[in-house]
Amino acid sequence: MKRIVITGMGAVTPVGVGVEDYWANIIAGKSGIDTIKSFDASELPVRFAGEIKDFNAAERLSKDLARKTDPFMQYAYVAAEEAVKQSAIEIEPERTGIVMGTAMAGVTATAFTQDALTASGKKVGPRFIPKILGNIAAANIAIDYNIQGPCFTVSTACSSGGDAVNIACMYMQAGKADVMLAVGAESALCPLVIQSLANAKALSRRNDDPSAASRPFDISRDGFVIGEGGGALVLETEEHAIARGAKILGVVMGCGNTCDAHHVTAPHPDGRGAVACIRQALAEAGLKPGDIGYVNAHGTATSKGDLVETAAIREVFGDSLPCVSSTKGATGHMMGAGGITETIACVKAIETGVVPPTINLHEIDPECAGIDLVPNTAKEVEIDYAMSNAFGFGGQNSSVIVGRYK
């Protein structure tokens, strides 16, 4: 198999725009969760989220692109721009491709446009359809960078970002590209989504304490917090990267993708899909469980999800348990963007020898105990391999293992 390496990374997150700000703030244990500012949420059952702050699309994109794109597309574009710049890649159009991951695409534009149409009969503009289509995020990036190779959009719920990495690697393994951008983005903050998830009892209701609301693995957790953002990786075959003298940041060792085949929203109680996914990624990587030094958990702070994931980790890793943390305590659940930004956290953990903490973890749920969940304070750990888990509705499971480049 061809070796796939990482040469560029980009991030737009509630705790910082740009990989360095994102990493510095999650290591410092800062929370990006606050009351919602982008629209009036005062009548909603949940009035807080992990919003992107200090982000002016008109300052970061061309006026035309800022006007015709949805926020999730803008986050994807800015993350990709950072990753491409870091990689210093010169695009070879027909040998470069892109895979975009998003769970809900333009749901906010759909909801707010329908509200305006219903309330006042306001005309629907000609840019509405291109604003809500998930694939247009990848298309805009491809147009600006002249990427003419494979161009796909994957929507596997909250595992979309991790699956984007997997599919990008598969295309290079198949010889259909030498370079692939793997991008994930989400902006699903609107009353429609909040009402539905709140009524499903999936969201935390801590309106009086937003920054402490996301509590992965804590006995007092009461649901996840919606986050938004974008992440991007420039992936290349090792041969291509070496030939152009690229700085290699890490290696994609292996990926897994499985389905629970159990329930539309609930994970399988035995975690069979998660277990199979992690084992699949390990097998592709050619690694033993004890080789993994850190797992960035899906860890959304839902009652069932955290229990199933920790049980799956214990089953796979046995007596060789790695450090495990969830950065969603800081960012909220970024859905399609999370699989990419959390893979970036794994690359940075290997590079710096620091594992990010699970913030707001004060009393570990006894059923999640027995694992080092890195509560509240970052931990220095020398590691060579790390894994990012991303699981989603429909029983979707994704695992991505990254390693130190040697």
**Mean pLDDT, to the nearest integer, of 118-144?**
92
Q: Which of the two residues, 121 and 28, has the higher pLDDT score?
A: 28
pLDDT above 70: percentage of residues in the chain = 100
The average pLDDT across 243-270 equals: 96
pTM summary value: 0.97
Rounded to an integer, what distance in angstroms lies between the CA atom of residue 325 and that of residue 358? Answer: 5
Residue 5 contacts residue 250 (beta carbons within 8 Å): yes
Angle at 146 between CA 144 and CA 152, to 5 degrees: 90
Cα–Cα distance for residue pair 132/128, rounded to 1 Å:
7
- Report d(CA 358, CA 310) in Å as an integer: 14
Q: What residues are paired with 236 via a beta bridge?
A: 5, 179
Q: Average pLDDT of 310-326? A: 97
Task: Report the candidate in 66, 78, 34, 349 with the shortest Cα–Cα distance to residue 230.
Answer: 78
CA-closest candidate to residue 157, choices 333, 400, 392, 337:
392
Closest CA to 215 of 372, 11, 31, 16: 31
- CATH 3.80.30.20 correct for 1-406: no
pLDDT value, residue 121: 79
E runs forming strands in 14-106: 16-17, 34-35, 48-49, 96-101
Other Cβ atoms less than 10 A from the Cβ of 404: the count is 18
Q: Closest Cα partner for 309 from 253, 354, 371, 374?
A: 371
CB 405 within 8 A of CB 248: yes
Cα 112 to Cα 108: distance, rounded to the nearest angstrom: 6
Tell me the mean pLDDT in the region 345-359. 98
Phi, psi of 14 (to 5 degrees): -65, -20
| 378-400 confidence digits (pLDDT tens) | 999 999 999 999 999 999 999 99
Q: What's the pLDDT score for residue 150? A: 97
Q: Is 182 helix (H, G, I), strand (E, B) or coil?
A: strand
Q: What is the pLDDT of residue 1?
A: 86
Alpha carbon distances (Å) from 339 to 298, 357, 377: 9, 17, 22
Residue bearing tokens 């609107």: 190
Q: Give residue 319's pLDDT band: very low, low, confident or very high (50, 70, 90).
A: very high
d(CA 75, CA 59): 13
- In angstroms, how far is CA 234 from the centroid of its own chain? 15
pLDDT in tens, 184-218: 999 999 999 999 999 999 999 999 999 999 999 99
Catalytic annotation on 240?
no
Q: Which of 190, 240, 268, 298 is catalytic?
A: 298
Q: Quick: pLDDT tens for 69-126.
A: 999 999 999 999 999 999 999 999 999 999 999 999 999 999 999 998 998 877 888 8
For residue 30, pLDDT over 90 is answered with yes
Task: Kindly state the DSSP code that residue 284 receives in the 8-state scheme.
Answer: H
Average pLDDT, integer, range 358-362 = 98
- Catalytic site includes residue 277: no
Q: Give the model's confidence band at 7: pLDDT under 50 very low, under 70 low, under 90 confident, else very high.
A: very high
Q: 1 vs 135, which has greater pLDDT? A: 135
pLDDT in the model for residue 392: 96
Are the beta carbons of 167 and 185 closer than 8 angstroms? Answer: no
In 3D, which of 169, 170, 145, 155 has the Cα closest to residue 233?
A: 169
In whole angstroms, what is the distance from residue 224 CA to residue 301 CA? Answer: 5
Q: Which residue has the tokens 């980009």?
A: 10
Annotated catalytic residue, options 240, 333, 346, 368:
333
On the 0-12 / 13-18 / 19+ scale of CB atoms within 10 A, 77 is buried
**What average pLDDT score do residues 121-138 get?**
91
Reply yes or no on whether 368 is catalytic. Answer: no
The CA distance from 211 to 235, in Å, is: 34
Q: Are 399 and 370 contacting, i.e. CB atoms less than 8 angstroms apart? A: no
Give residue 288's pLDDT.
Answer: 98
pLDDT at 125: 87
- For the chain, percent of residues with pLDDT exceeding 90: 95
Q: What's the confidence (pLDDT) of residue 355?
A: 98
Whether the Cβ atoms of residue 205 and residue 223 lie closer than 8 Å to each other: yes
| Candidate list 158, 169, 323, 346, residue with the active-site label | 158
Mean pLDDT of 351-376: 98
